[in-house]
């Protein structure tokens, strides 16, 4: 009888431990859409993609893993990358369907300074503004429009469902929602 309880306990405990992955496999896990941490939506001719970036992932990508000072600098926020691209083309999305030459500069201005006001996150019962925002200008070298987003980190809701809401006022996508579930966040492997 004790043996059965022991075996059952071992199985239960081992099923509750997080998966552990080495550097390359960890990065692949985070960047794989099946993890639930990378989500894409195709609306019209535009692909919208959101990537959640855990701290260990950011530190690995910056070649700063193990740097406690850098980890402390970025630990108060939760980070994402947002990308807009054309589905069937490698044309620069910012230059697509312009009605006048001035519209390009209006788009760049809005993407640089206005879009941040049209992004928020619902986390549990909290609605969080996008606190850090950067439009990564590619100056025609990439067909995508990439943005780095950061929201305050809530200790109470760290593993709560996260619903990122974006109002697309330029490309006709309307209100776009990306949900990262609590289960997906809890399933992030440990880095070894």
pLDDT at 2 over 80: no
pLDDT (tens digit per residue) in 144-172: 999 999 999 876 677 889 999 999 999 98
Give strand pairing partners of 48: 41, 84
What is the C-alpha to C-alpha distance for residues 49 and 85, in angstroms, rounded to an integer? 9
What is the b/e burial string over 39-74, where b = at least 16 CB atoms within 10 angstroms of the residue's CB? beeeeeebbbbbbbbbbbbbbbeeeebeeeeeeeeb
- Confidence grade of residue 66 (pLDDT, cut at 50, 70, 90): confident
Please state the pTM of the whole predicted model.
Answer: 0.86
- Confidence grade of residue 192 (pLDDT, cut at 50, 70, 90): confident
Angle at 20 between CA 14 and CA 24, to 5 degrees: 160
């Amino acid at each position: 009888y004790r043996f059965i309880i022991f075996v059952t306990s071992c199985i239960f405990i081992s099923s509750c431990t997080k998966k552990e992955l080495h550097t390359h496999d960890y990065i692949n896990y985070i960047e794989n859409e099946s993890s639930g941490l990378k989500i894409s939506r195709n609306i019209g001719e535009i692909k919208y993609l959101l990537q959640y970036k855990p701290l260990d992932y950011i530190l690995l990508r910056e070649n700063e893993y193990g740097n406690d000072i850098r980890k402390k600098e970025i630990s108060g926020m939760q980070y994402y990358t947002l990308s807009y691209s054309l589905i069937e083309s490698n044309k620069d999305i910012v230059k697509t369907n312009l009605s006048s030459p001035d519209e390009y500069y209006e788009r760049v201005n809005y993407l640089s300074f206005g879009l941040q006001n049209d992004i928020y996150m619902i986390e549990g019962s909290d609605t969080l503004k996008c606190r850090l925002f950067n439009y990564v200008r590619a100056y025609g070298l990439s067909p995508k429009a990439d943005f780095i987003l950061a929201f305050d980190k809530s200790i109470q809701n760290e593993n709560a469902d996260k619903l990122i809401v974006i109002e697309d006022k330029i490309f006709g996508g309307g209100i776009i929602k990306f949900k990262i579930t609590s289960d997906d966040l809890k399933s992030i492997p440990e880095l070894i």
